[in-house]
Amino acid sequence: MAHHDIIVIGASAGGVEALKRLMRELPQDLSASLFVVLHQARMTEPSALPGILDRAGPLRALTPLDRTKFERGHIYVAPPDRHMLIERDHVRIVRGPKENRHRPSVDPLFRSAAWAYGPRVVGIVLSGTMDDGAAGLWAIKTCGGVTVVQDPAEALYTGMPTSALTTARIDYCLPVDRIAVLLSELASRPVSGTMPAHGLERLKTETEFTTLDKDLSDMDELGDPTVFTCPSCQGTLWEIKDGDMLRYRCHTGHAFSVDSLLAEQSEAAETALYSALRALEEKAAALRRVADRFSDRFPELHARYQHEAGDLDESANVLRQLLVSKTV
């Protein structure tokens, strides 16, 4: 009889301490495989997280290679700048498009686990900012699995737990110590949920988007096209509905929750404003340089160019005010 033996965990800011506490409390004979995604800055060196978690508790932690077959009693940690997905009896490590502005991202791991193992999956969201993981928990719950979030009252950063609580169907909201006890119970408890018979093909399709195994031009099966463009590649965004949640994905595979889309749009707008400010300042400087050459022989041209440079200065000041006002 199947048990809850596939445990997927997502965390971001404040997540290392929560993960250490969780691993410290887990028993050595836990009959489950654990998979961890922690948002990390892009780096060229291997992550220190597997070593940290390996020392924190009795279970062995490691960074898997692509197509590594997983075992019970092991913790598999996504490497930097790579998504980790679950297929039947092995993991995939891929450099697919970013989701929610991250690679690795929590949602692709959760979504792939839900599609591959359905009600056997336990999904956990720990401390972190914004809302990565909420859509993944929705997928797990829809496929009959168990959903858990760290109690925001004890999380160092409440964004991810709170977003999951408000947008997904959550079975348990617990402090980390009690999550460890729950996992021990679930790993020995027969599965009670069931995988829906229909309507989940989109989970498989989105997993294939992450591995770039899908024809990215065929987007209509996922959702409806919008008037918005992807802030990462300027392609059209399609709107996807997960229950009451809205998500967005472009034809090259970039995917966003509402919060991550707004954050990426703000960053793109700031970059554009700085580029415009640079262009205005450069043109004003060029006009003054030319004006200086005509100051003696052609005073009218000198005055004209100085006036144009002054107009550009005024426009540049407007952009500076926008940039410092934090309204973008």
Residue positions annotated with a catalytic role: 12, 39, 132
In contact, 63 and 80? CB cutoff 8 Å = no
Nearest alpha-carbon partner for 68 in 83, 80, 86, 55: 86
